[in-house]
Amino acid sequence: MKNIVPGGRMIKIEINGKYYEVKAEKNLLEVSLSLGINIPHFCYHAALGSVGACRLCAVKKYRNASDTKGRLIMSCMEPVTEGLILRTEESDVIKFRAAVLESLMINHPHDCPVCDEGGECHLQDMTVMTGHNYRSYNFKKRTYTNQNLGPFIHHEMNRCIQCYRCVRFYKEYAGGKDFDVFASHDHVYFGRHEDGILDSEFSGNLVEVCPTGVFTDKTLKSHFTRKWDLTNAPSVCVHCSVGCNTIAGERYGILRRIMSRYNGSVNGYFLCDRGRFGYEFVNHENRLKKVKIRLSKNENPVVAENDQLQVSLNSALSDNKRIIGIGSPRASLEANYALMNLVGTENFYHGISKSDYELTKTALHILQNGPAHSPSLKEIENADVVFILGEDLTQTAPMIALAVRQAARNIPLQAGEKTGIPRWHDAAQRDRTQDIKSPIFVANPYQTKLDELSREPYHASINEIAKLGFAVAAQINDNATSVKDVDTRQYMLASEIAVALKNAKNPVIISGIHCGNKEMLHAAANIAFALEALQIKSSLCLVVPESNSMGLGMIGGKSLEDAYRRIEQGEADTLVILENDLYRRAEKEIVDEVFQKCKHVIVLDHLMNDTASKADILIPVGSFAESEGTIVSNEGRAQRYYKVFPSEKSVPESWRMIGEMIKIVRDQIDHPWKNFDQVAKEMGDDIPEFSVIHQKMPGNGFRILNEKITRQPLRFSGRTANSAHIAVNEPKLPQDHDSPLAFSMEGSNEVPPSSLVPFYWTPGWNSAQSINFYLDEPNGSMKGGDPGIRLIEANKNAKVSFFEPDITDIEQKPGEFWIIPVYRIFGSEELSSKAKAVAERIPEPYVLMNEKDIAGSDKNENGSANINISGKEIFVKIKIDPDIPLGIAGLTVNLPGMPFLNLPCSGKIKFASGNSNNQKPGRP
Amino acid sequence: MEKPLTGHIKAEGIPLNIREYEVAGGYTGVQTVLKKMQPMDVINLIKDAGLLGRGGAGFPTGLKWSFVPTGSDVPRPVYLLCNADEMEPGSFKDRFLLEGNPHQLIAGMICAAYAIQAEKAYIFLRWAYKKAETILRKAIAEAYAEGYLGKNILGSDFSLDIYVHTSAGRYICGEETALINSLEGKRAIPRAKPPFPTTSGLFGKPTVINNVETLCWISHIIENGADWFKNLGLNGEGGTKLYGVSGRVKKPGIYELPMGTVMREILEKHAGGMTDGYNLRAVIPGGASTEFVMEKQLDVKMDFVSLKAVGSRMGTATMTVLDDKTCPVAFLHNIERFFAQESCGWCTPCREGLPRVEKMLLAIEEGNGKEEYLESLKFHTTYCGPGNTFCAHAPGAMEPLQSGLEYFHDDFMRHINEKHCPWRSND
């Protein structure tokens, strides 16, 4: 997908004696980098634009052929003009750049050997590139005090070269409030006003944005490995439905870090902190490593010896017609498909509740059959009007929230461009824009971080928000039915939103299923459809909860409730559960009873959890890092992750393990699939929607000039010594028969297809900045197109048929509160919560309440409450939200230790007596 | 000799109140502008007069005003800013005008605001000018009371509000775009140009920034015409100029003289020559960020063009005299310490280069200098020079150093060779 560029006029210029046609709206640095010409730079970042602070990108510009003197200019601040001549390597330019570097190195501690950035340091690269070698400064260096910024980011201010990228990213790009630049002259300081945890959900990007080792990955530090010693694979984030692309790096069987993998259509240069730091669940001490078998119902499971697994599976599976399989929205398409194959379509249960499935299916139905386009993240970034209904994006799909923050700049940016200020001229654009924003409308029951972008944040119950949505649709198009009892405020706001959307060029409507209300999805769809009916190209982004929720919805199947019923009725007695903790999806009592009734519970998963602890046969399977798989993002983009490292033999990939089980069930000798490609292909044959995946993704046989793609960089060290304490000869390298990637440094050094890039490295550019040379232009698309295959496209021929509003009153009992779910970026997602650093950021469970609702009970804001939902009591802290409607309480959900609650629902709230209660929040 | 700007200022240091100012003929310019002239007429008149900005750069004022977009779709409000952040070392001319005759400035600002059709004006005042602040606030209140400010001034369609904003006290706030950032409550960091403030200035709106002395001229030119103004100058550049003299002269102070008056005449005739026992070695003509003028060049005419011809700049035209009993290295170190301290920290050459220069100068002054420092200092004068840095701060700082290195080479060498400052006792 091509990046959308306004204008697109081409201009002829000369650089170092060669002629090029370049885009008129770019600056000279961008143009040069696009052409592969090295110009050193610090403060320029493609996503952040130019500010001209560091002065490193100096070049010599001649206005035209008759200009003999030329002028030293900063290439990042200079627009391209017809006929100009650029010289990037003249002696005065080279001398100046070296001097800039020398200036920056005056106070740098030169501590590369102990710096985590060493080896992938933009400052190292630039020092070499500019040719600054010898130090003549012999006065004292200035020093700073570092700050403790929390579990994610390590701070080492002495290394700072004052490029201002950090503060520009954190404050201006990501909207952070607790980070700034302090003091002045040669003592400027970048950090917080005092020690403390960085509040932004995007703080991890400082690691990649910082050109040196001021901000480094604290989780990497705890098991540090140099870039060149990492074995990497292209991967996809599994911690929400957005599908950001990642690079995962491993050494000695430990996953060491996650970096952003560029995808111009999805996450671009960035990741959220859940995606970046959630990986450590892979290294968790509770990782399942050995098969455990319960020999009889009342005994504890024991580690299986020899062929015990075979024997147990045999007795559980062969000749058993009463097996049902439970899939998972956090398992790959292929693993789910394999399970479906094992148990048969009629016995395949998708692993989510009926209501969640219905919501997912509704979202899918709207996007597949309706005329509205499901936008990529990039397209959301390019939106000029955004309306968000009932989804707290910063918590449920953080990178979409970051994209909306960029969308808020589009209208003022366009206006700025009209006055002659180029888009890349970042500071000038922001100075001109001040606080003008594109029309962004946010409607959510409680306050969200995106409220600050919103024209007029609307806080009301989910039903009222759905009503507002229907009213907007009806105001755009008469054929869309409105709801009857729209109040004045809703009417006025709906008019404002409708007008803004109708005047937009790229309107985006965002909603999702976290609020648990189908009408919300219908209302959002009606708005998008109403715009389409007026020939306004509209986009509809629907957020789903888990990494493969969309994919699972496409596979289909029956609900968990159906599965439980069959077990209850004795129609089934053997459960095969794939990567799914059922206790997160239904009340404990229900799940307990189901397990009680089962003869055999077979669980395949990565980590010990409540479901795994109930397994009679517990089979460890590879996580995303030890397996390959395809997952479908909420956009409908199918993307594949690859093994980062080969798993131990006892921890196979899910699809492979299920294949072993098929051998038993079908009593056959051969594994049904020789390799991953075969599952993928067969899946495509059986489920036509997926056939394109196998057709388009480079398969196991893909080679570049007969060679596989290396997971290890050429400078990977010590391979032959790694196991020298075991054997002096080099062990055979692990082979990968499932992908075109090799667990080796030997193979092709060419740039692989965009979906297979395991790491970025270009001559002269060892740091993350090397990304730019893999792109058609900075901030553009990956060369050869961005990774991923879109499985969902709007049905442009569909006759627009609007949903009829069907808002049912909530069943709030008298004297009770209507309790709605509140999702948290850190804590509400299962796997990332197990990562050490993320775990430190998980809040204590709390309930959001309007002050007036607790005022009568003489409890202050620091109070706590007992929440009673159909007899189940939990103890939580109270947090005031001034905007949450009266009678509604928002309860954090899915946090570790909290029981499953089927929200929204009616519940009693009893205010606890102050802080005397020593009960731990969240516990019953 | 005509002294339009300072002629009415009372010797005892009490500012003219609005009545006194009116009696002296003030606010007639405002009457003329609002009743008889179109905005474009005012701009053209100032262009014809050839008024050059008195803040130091000498940019033609009328031309600057003409860059403000006109028409119905101009972003509103348009702002006029008076740069009264006089922090150039050795400069005190604006203070004299602010404290002596505040209504002259207010009248000028009303005319200027009318010319560019600004509806809001700010006086950005140096933090230390406490007395001027009191005087200005009182004068502005008087002007409001008399209907010269506020809605529909003198019955016209034109409205203007003037606010006084006292700076937090950074030298860089005198740089017009850093001034804008500071006024917006942001870090005082200069902005890149283009876009120029006239298209995107304060709060992103069209903005003109003029120096106090410049604005004080406007009403006078309107009352007396362009030719009158041009004829005041001796050497092609119109008007009189407030020349300042500090250092060891007999009568340091501010002297309003025709533009183009010879430097020697100012120093010897008006400032009374050197204090007994001191000899003049050099002069920095226009604040600390201008190049030295040596004794043999004292016959230079003090105007923008002539000073450029001898390799210096007029700047604020407030001279500082270096005498033979002051160490030129210490003199330069003092200047560079100031500039290093006042760097905003935005761009590399300035942020890192100036402190390095300062450290080398101090080392030399204290007798720890090395000969290679001279080379490094010389390199820094170009490295931190125009075009290489984000704004004019570091280039300005390098001007006295560049000429100082050349003119006082022997003094530098003595410091290095004798390992102490020859002006200090060797203990």
In this structure, is residue A437 part of a structural domain?
A: yes
Q: Residue B168 has what pLDDT? A: 87
> Who among A52, A139, A184 is closest to B345 (CB)?
A184
Chain B residue with CA closest to A57: the answer is: B388
CA distance A857 to chain B (A): 43
In this structure, is residue A761 part of a structural domain?
A: no
> Who among B192, B199, B379 is closest to A419 (CB)?
B199
Any A CB within 8 A of B163 CB: no
> Who among A58, A77, A136 is closest to B376 (CB)?
A136
Chain A residue with CA closest to B201: the answer is: A432
Closest to A158 in 3D by CA, of A209, A192, A107? A107
Architecture of domain B328-418: Up-down Bundle (1.20)
Question: Between A and B, how many CB-CB pairs are < 8 A?
Answer: 107
The token pair at A418 is: 């009209």
Which residues, 6+ apart, have CB-to-CB distance to A271 below 8 Å? A202, A204, A205, A237, A244, A246, A258, A259, A260, A399
> Who among B192, B347, B389 is closest to A427 (CB)?
B192
In this structure, is residue A64 part of a structural domain?
A: yes
Tens of pLDDT, residue by residue over A225-238, are: 999 999 999 999 99
Nearest-angstrom CA–CA distance, A562 and A559: 5
DSSP string covering A330-391: TS-HHHHHHHHHHH-GGGEE-SS-HHHHHHHHHHHHHHHHSS-B---HHHHHT-SEEEEES-
Q: Which of A54, A184, A413 to mutate to test the interface with B (most CBs of B within 10 A)?
A: A184
Chosen domain end from A89, A108, A143: A89
Chosen domain end from A89, A119, A143: A89
Domain B240-323 CATH assignment equals 1.10.3720.10: no
Any A CB within 8 A of B343 CB: yes
Chain A residue with CA closest to B355: the answer is: A186
In this structure, is residue A336 part of a structural domain?
A: no
Q: How many residues does chain B have?
A: 427
Chain A residue with CA closest to B181: the answer is: A431
Q: Residue A913 has what pLDDT? A: 61
Interchain contact, A433 vs B383, CB within 8 Å = no
The token pair at A238 is: 């599994």
Which CATH number does the domain housing residue A59 bear?
3.10.20.740
> Who among B200, B204, B355 is closest to A186 (CB)?
B355
Nearest-angstrom CA–CA distance, A117 and A763: 18
Q: Residue A859 has what pLDDT? A: 56
Contact between A580 and A326 (Cβ < 8 Å)? yes
Chosen domain end from A497, A519, A537: A537
Interchain contact, B348 vs A73, CB within 8 Å = no
Q: Number of folded domains in chain A?
A: 3
Burial letters B216-238, b for 16+ CB under 10 A, else e = bbbbbbbbbebebbbebbbbebb
In this structure, is residue A732 part of a structural domain?
A: no
Any A CB within 8 A of B194 CB: yes
Nearest-angstrom CA–CA distance, A288 and A618: 9
Tens of pLDDT, residue by residue over A475-526, are: 999 999 999 899 999 999 999 999 999 999 999 999 999 999 999 999 999 9
What mean pLDDT comes out for the span A345-360?
97
Nearest-angstrom CA–CA distance, A663 and A667: 5
Res A9 pLDDT > 50: yes
Residues in A touching B356 (Cβ below 8 Å): 103, 106, 137, 139
Interchain contact, B192 vs A187, CB within 8 Å = no
Q: Which residue has the tokens 């997926």?
A: A690
Which CATH number does the domain housing residue A402 bear?
3.40.228
CA distance A61 to chain B (A): 12
Burial class of A668 by CB neighbour count within 10 A (0 to 12, 13 to 18, 19+): exposed
Residues in A touching B170 (Cβ below 8 Å): 184
Q: What is the 3-state secondary structure (H, E, C) of B219-256?
A: HHHHHHCHHHHHHHCCCCCCCEEEEEEECCECCCEEEE
> Who among A55, A187, A431 is closest to B348 (CB)?
A55
What domain range includes position A424? 374-537
Closest to B158 in 3D by CA, of B168, B145, B148, B170? B148
Helix ranges (H only) for A255-350 are 273-277, 308-317, 333-343
Residues in B touching A27 (Cβ below 8 Å): none
Any A CB within 8 A of B200 CB: yes
Nearest-angstrom CA–CA distance, A723 and A49: 47
In DSSP terms, A716 is beta-bridged to none
Q: Which amino acid is at B334?
A: N
What are the residue boundaries of the structural domains of chain B, listed by start? 18-231, 240-323, 328-418
Give the start-end residues of each E strand in A202-352: 215-217, 231-236, 245-251, 254-260, 292-293, 302-303, 323-326, 348-349
Contact between A466 and A524 (Cβ < 8 Å)? no
> Who among B204, B347, B359 is closest to A434 (CB)?
B204
Cis peptide before B77 (omega within 30 of 0): yes
CA distance B204 to chain A (A): 4
Interchain contact, B200 vs A432, CB within 8 Å = yes
Q: Residue A921 has what pLDDT? A: 60
Nearest-angstrom CA–CA distance, A877 and A860: 11
The token pair at A707 is: 């060679």
pLDDT tens over chain B, length 427 residues? 799 999 999 988 899 999 999 999 899 999 999 999 999 999 999 999 999 999 999 999 999 999 999 999 999 999 999 999 999 999 999 999 999 999 999 999 999 999 999 999 999 999 999 999 999 999 999 999 999 999 999 999 999 999 999 998 899 999 999 999 999 999 999 999 999 999 999 999 999 999 999 999 999 999 999 999 999 999 999 999 999 999 999 999 999 999 999 999 999 999 999 999 999 999 999 999 999 999 999 999 999 999 999 999 999 999 999 999 999 999 999 999 999 999 999 999 999 999 999 999 999 999 999 999 999 999 999 999 999 999 999 999 999 999 999 999 999 999 999 999 999 875 5
Which residues, 6+ apart, have CB-to-CB distance to A393 below 8 Å? A400, A401, A404, A448, A450, A510, A543
Nearest-angstrom CA–CA distance, A819 and A866: 13
Closest to A54 in 3D by CA, of A35, A38, A75? A75
Closest to A878 in 3D by CA, of A840, A829, A917? A917
Nearest-angstrom CA–CA distance, B110 and B150: 10
Mean pLDDT of the residues in chain B: 96
Residues of A near B (Cβ–Cβ under 8 Å) read 51-56, 58, 71-73, 77, 96, 99-100, 103-104, 106-107, 136-137, 139, 162, 164, 181, 183-188, 419-421, 425, 427-428, 431-434, 436
Any A CB within 8 A of B70 CB: no
In this structure, is residue A198 part of a structural domain?
A: no
Mean pLDDT of the residues in chain A: 94
> Who among A54, A103, A427 is closest to B353 (CB)?
A103
Any A CB within 8 A of B333 CB: no
- According to CATH, the topology of domain B18-231 is Rossmann fold (3.40.50)
Res A915 pLDDT > 70: no
> Who among A51, A103, A183 is closest to B352 (CB)?
A103
Contact between A497 and A472 (Cβ < 8 Å)? yes
In this structure, is residue A668 part of a structural domain?
A: no
Q: Which of B79, B182, B348 to mutate to test the interface with A (most CBs of A within 10 A)?
A: B348
Nearest-angstrom CA–CA distance, B378 and B381: 5
CA distance A100 to chain B (A): 6
Q: Which of B193, B351, B364, B380 to mutate to test the interface with A (most CBs of A within 10 A)?
A: B351
Q: Percent of chain A having pLDDT more than 70?
A: 97
Strands A600-605 and A574-578: parallel
Q: In what order do the strands lie in the sheet with B318-323?
A: B253-258, B240-246, B318-323, B280-284, B293-294
Which CATH number does the domain housing residue A832 bear?
2.40.40.20
Chain A residue with CA closest to B360: the answer is: A139
Q: Which amino acid is at B182?
A: S
User: Is 0.90 topped by the overall pTM?
Assistant: yes
Q: Which of A27, A43, A44, A55 to mutate to test the interface with B (most CBs of B within 10 A)?
A: A55
Chain A residue with CA closest to B394: the answer is: A185
Which residues, 6+ apart, have CB-to-CB distance to B73 below 8 Å? none
Residues in A touching B349 (Cβ below 8 Å): 55, 99-100, 103
Q: Which amino acid is at A834?
A: K
Q: Which of B198, B337, B347, B389 to mutate to test the interface with A (most CBs of A within 10 A)?
A: B347
Burial class of B338 by CB neighbour count within 10 A (0 to 12, 13 to 18, 19+): middle
CA distance B167 to chain A (A): 16
